[in-house]
A = this chain, B = another copy of it.
Amino acid sequence: MAQQARAAQTRQQIIVGAAKLFSRVGYERARLNDIVGETGLTRGAIYFHFQSKDDLAKIVVDEFATKSIEAVATIAETGECGMCQIAMLNREMGRLLTVDPVVRAGIRLVIELNSGEAPVPVYLAWIEALKYLVSRGIDEGDVRPGVTPEDGAVFITEAFVGAQVLSHAVSGLDDLPARIDRLTGFLLNGLMPDERLAARPEIGDARLAAALG
């Protein structure tokens, strides 16, 4: 049992080390040897857990996807309105990016590994989660007439992904939290009638930490 716990801890240590390297140099230039250096473990220990760099990159992306969906679930528990949750989700992704190396590496890897040959699972998961929130916003009377849950969810995802791509190109993702901050206002204006947003301008500043605490 102690051995199992140690193995799980080593595995996580490798994932975080790999994530730090991926976010610093990107997928192409990351070498398994540098991951060895980053984690302080032996090459053998790493190969015991992972087959290849590709394998590690996939796991970092999966953990990033899981964390983003966990954020959706945690935010749902606040019971706040649909549009509030959308604003919170944007801000929470910006926050996670600055504190969690797996999220930072995951965003970079999804952009770099997107071959355009197949839908990207994490984008599809975001669209599904957002469809539910837009649909809730529609029920709450907070969404412009004619906007479907699908169209609203796709708009948010497109804008969010575009902000990631531009931030990646311009600042290596450093400026993404500030971009998300600015984007949130445009997203709410794009989705909500002016008089609804004017009645509750605090929606634009919704933050998970504030709602929890």
Say yes or no: is A70 at the interface (Cβ < 8 Å to chain B): no
A169 and B26 contacting across the interface, CB-CB below 8 Å: no
Mark the stretch among A3-11, A58-66, A82-90, A152-160 that contacts chain B.
Answer: A152-160
Contact of A182 among B123, B154, B161 (CB under 8 A): B154
Contact of A154 among B151, B157, B166 (CB under 8 A): B166
B-chain residues with CB within 8 Å of residue A111 when the two chains form the complex: 114, 116, 165
Q: Interface code A150-190, partner B: CB below 8 Å = 1, 0 otherwise?
A: 01001101111111011011101000000100110011011
Q: Which residue of B lies closest to A146 (CB)?
A: B185
Number of copies of this kind of chain in the complex = 2
Contact of A159 among B112, B155, B169 (CB under 8 A): B155
| CB-CB nearest 3 A-B residue pairs | A162-B162, A158-B162, A190-B190
A43 to chain B, nearest CB (A): 28
Question: How many residues of A are counted as interface, with CB atoms below 8 angstroms from the partner's CB atoms?
Answer: 41
B108 and A165 contacting across the interface, CB-CB below 8 Å: no
A166 and B159 contacting across the interface, CB-CB below 8 Å: no
B190 and A193 contacting across the interface, CB-CB below 8 Å: no
Contact of A163 among B28, B158, B170 (CB under 8 A): B158
Say yes or no: is A211 at the interface (Cβ < 8 Å to chain B): no
Q: A116-B169, A151-B182, A186-B190 are in contact. List 13 more A-B contacts (CB 8 A).
A: A108-B116, A112-B116, A114-B165, A114-B168, A114-B169, A116-B172, A119-B169, A123-B169, A155-B159, A155-B182, A190-B190, A194-B194, A194-B195
